[in-house]
Amino acid sequence: MALPQGIEVDKPQVCKLRKSLYGLKQASCLWYEHIDYFLRSLGLQRCEYDPNVYLLASTTSTDRTDPPLAIWNSKRSAQNDAPIILLLYVDDMLLFSPSANRVTTIKHLLRTKYKMTDLSPVYCFLSMEIECNRS
């Protein structure tokens, strides 16, 4: 940890934090604003039904009554246009896409901005069991 700007010391000292960064009441709100801004800058759109779900796909030819399912079920001719669904829960994320290349690209972009660990494949998330079916 570095000393704040404007504080100069002649000899090495220990600094004591009066409040931890995670203990601040506004920390979660600030984190969400930060990650929301970054995800939107990548082209992901926040789902109108759940603010913790982000989508990246063209919805022009899909049914607007249920965008997440309609996007996933829509037929794509190119892998570069495959849909991506990102679920965000505090500082945990799940990425879904029929294209492994699209998932890898989003992971790379996230790594350039944040220190992250890839724990894939996922089998359980928020007490929900997840089963992968590639067919």
Instruction: Report the percent of the chain where pLDDT is more than 70.
Output: 72
Residue 55 within any structural domain of the chain: yes
pLDDT at residue 30 greater than cutoff 50: yes
pLDDT at res. 123: 85
For residue 93, which of 82, 80, 106, 102 has the smallest C-alpha distance?
A: 106
Residue 99 within any structural domain of the chain: yes
For residue 92, which of 113, 123, 69, 119 has the smallest C-alpha distance?
A: 119
pLDDT at res. 54: 93
pLDDT in tens, 85-95: 899 988 888 88
Residue 118 within any structural domain of the chain: yes
Domains contained in the chain, number? 1
Residue 134 within any structural domain of the chain: no
pLDDT in tens, 57-99: 754 444 444 455 555 555 544 556 788 889 998 888 888 888 8
Q: Which domain holds residue 84?
A: 26-129
Residue 109 within any structural domain of the chain: yes
